[in-house]
Amino acid sequence: MKSSFKILRVFSIDIEIHISFLVLPLFFFFLYGIKGIFIIIAIFTCVAAHELTHSLVAKSYNIRVDKITLLPIGGIATMRSAPQNPKQELAISISGPIFNIVLALLLYLPLKSILGAATLMHPNPRTWSGAIAYAYWVNPILAGFNLLPAFPMDGGRVLRSLLALKLSYKKATKIAVVFGYVFAVVFAFIALSTQPPNFLLLLIALFIFSAASQEQATVSLRSTLNKIRVKDILPERFANLRLQTPISEAVSTMLHIAQEDFPVLDDSGKMAGLLTRDRVALALQNREELKTASDLMIKEFPQTTSQEMLSSVFVKIQSGNFKAIPVIDNGLLKGIVTLEDIKRVYALFAKEKGR
Ligand SMILES: [Zn+2]
């Protein structure tokens, strides 16, 4: 099921909204009427601007940003590649919270003189001035929460990148991950020791805990894959299809061999497209009228060379939601590398290290 919907596009970045964000306006409307909707729009704008700041800094380092997904507790900017060095990671991750802090500082005096210090300091969404004050506090809270030095918050990345200025990236990550675990345990302890237990805080603790271990796994995967080139794992044999191969024949090939994705070659032997098993399965399911491989093949796909590192191939495959990537050297198709191949290699090396 699609869980996010595109609402607008700025700086060639799609901004999507998660469906859970659609439940909130109803809830706030129920609580505070039209002022509740105003508050939700304010939260939405601040989160979007925060993520957009991250994205624009990332873009200035030539990192492609595909989309921003807005969730009630924050946003996620989907980037094509990782920052090249700790300084870039520091700038990207700290820019979002800085935006919120700067906005809060700029608005403080004007709002204080308009709303009065008492209203600004004790926001109450039942009056309009209270609702504006409430919306104001979204910025410092967003900045503060995101600066917690724990993954997946920006603060976790800020901490890691600061450590990585002096230590190796792997070691810096390990320390930042431990920080994440400590925060998770402290939050869980506080959540359970209050009466009644604070389940929201407990949920945040679990969230931080799983994000910390996830980050550890990602970095370990990346550093392993960074030592292996495509040519080292390129399968020797792979099957091709032709533009005019009938779909029935493609299906029978797929039934006979383990390969899931097939390069489709034109008459000159050049790769014209990629036919994936998922694509064929979907077409069969929908009973589409199809004749040949060229009707169904994907024409736009990422590609790699046999010299490329697996780490960047992995990012290419994942960011495009592909399962396989053709290997092309000087226009010549050398084979195909799949997500399964990469996972198999990683499992092998991870085990070797563990011994
Ligand atoms: Zn952020």
CA of 97 to the centre of ligand 1 (A): 6
Residues with Cβ within 5 Å of ion ligand 1?
96, 146, 154
Section 200-210 average pLDDT: 85
Q: Say yes or no to pLDDT of 99 above 90.
A: yes
Q: What confidence score (pLDDT) does residue 104 get?
A: 92
Q: Say yes or no to pLDDT of 273 above 80.
A: yes
Residues 108 and 179 in one domain: no
- Share above pLDDT 90 across residues of the chain, in percent, rounded to a whole number: 11
Q: What confidence score (pLDDT) does residue 352 get?
A: 55
Residues 63 and 104 in one domain: yes
Residues 330 and 238 in one domain: yes
The model's pLDDT over 306-325, given as tens digits with 9 standing for 90+, comes to 888 888 888 777 766 677 88
The model's pLDDT over 160-169, given as tens digits with 9 standing for 90+, comes to 999 989 988 8
Q: What confidence score (pLDDT) does residue 244 get?
A: 87
CA of 50 to the centre of ligand 1 (A): 6
Q: What confidence score (pLDDT) does residue 158 get?
A: 93
Give me the domain span that covers residue 295. Answer: 230-354
Task: Give the pLDDT band (50/70/90) at residue 301.
Answer: confident
SS (H, E, C) the chain: CCCEEEEEEECCEEEEEECHHHHHHHHHHHHHCHHHHHHHHHHHHHHHHHHHHHHHHHHHCCCCEEEEEEECCEEEEEECCCCCCHHHHHHHHHHHHHHHHHHHHHHHHHHHHHHCHHHHHCCCCCCHHHHHHHHHHHHHHHHHHHCCCCCCCHHHHHHHHHHHCCCCHHHHHHHHHHHHHHHHHHHHHHHHHCCCCCHHHHHHHHHHHHHHHHHHHHHHHHHHHCCCEHHHHCCCCCCCEECCCEHHHHHHHHHHCCCCEEEEECCCCCEEEEEEHHHHHHHHHCCCCCCEHHHHCECCCCCECCCCEHHHHHHHHHHCCCCEEEEEECCEEEEEEEHHHHHHHHHHHHHHHHC
Q: Say yes or no to pLDDT of 335 above 90.
A: no
Residues 21 and 116 in one domain: yes
CA of 219 to the centre of ligand 1 (A): 20
Of these ranges, 24-38, 39-53, 97-111, 303-317, the one predicted with the greatest mean pLDDT is: 97-111
CA of 51 to the centre of ligand 1 (A): 6
Q: Say yes or no to pLDDT of 106 above 90.
A: yes
Task: Give the pLDDT band (50/70/90) at residue 73.
Answer: low
The model's pLDDT over 109-153, given as tens digits with 9 standing for 90+, comes to 888 888 777 877 887 878 888 888 888 998 998 899 889 888 878
Residue 253 sits in a domain whose CATH number is 3.10.580.10
CA of 126 to the centre of ligand 1 (A): 29
Domain end (from 225, 248, 271)? 225
Residues 1 and 140 in one domain: yes
Taking the alpha carbons of 218, 223, 224, 227 in that order, is the dihedral positive or negative? positive
Residues 141 and 4 in one domain: yes
CA of 62 to the centre of ligand 1 (A): 19
Q: Say yes or no to pLDDT of 22 above 80.
A: no
CA of 154 to the centre of ligand 1 (A): 5
Residues 143 and 2 in one domain: yes
Residues 209 and 271 in one domain: no
CA of 142 to the centre of ligand 1 (A): 8
120 vs 41: CA distance, rounded Å: 19
Q: Say yes or no to pLDDT of 1 above 60.
A: no
CA of 248 to the centre of ligand 1 (A): 49
Residues 53 and 6 in one domain: yes
Domain end (from 201, 225, 249)? 225
Residues 238 and 193 in one domain: no
Q: Say yes or no to pLDDT of 355 above 70.
A: no
CA of 89 to the centre of ligand 1 (A): 12
Residues 18 and 108 in one domain: yes
Domain end (from 160, 195, 225)? 225
- Total domains in the fold of the chain: 3
SS (H, E, C) 252-277: HHHHHCCCCEEEEECCCCCEEEEEEH
Instruction: Judge whether 220 and 299 are in contact, CB under 8 Å.
Output: no
Section 318-334 average pLDDT: 80
CA of 339 to the centre of ligand 1 (A): 29
- Identify the weakest region by mean pLDDT among 76-80, 124-128, 148-152, 174-178: 76-80
Q: Say yes or no to pLDDT of 254 above 90.
A: no
CA of 150 to the centre of ligand 1 (A): 12
Residues 50 and 129 in one domain: yes
Task: Give the pLDDT band (50/70/90) at residue 350.
Answer: low
Task: Give the pLDDT band (50/70/90) at residue 269.
Answer: confident
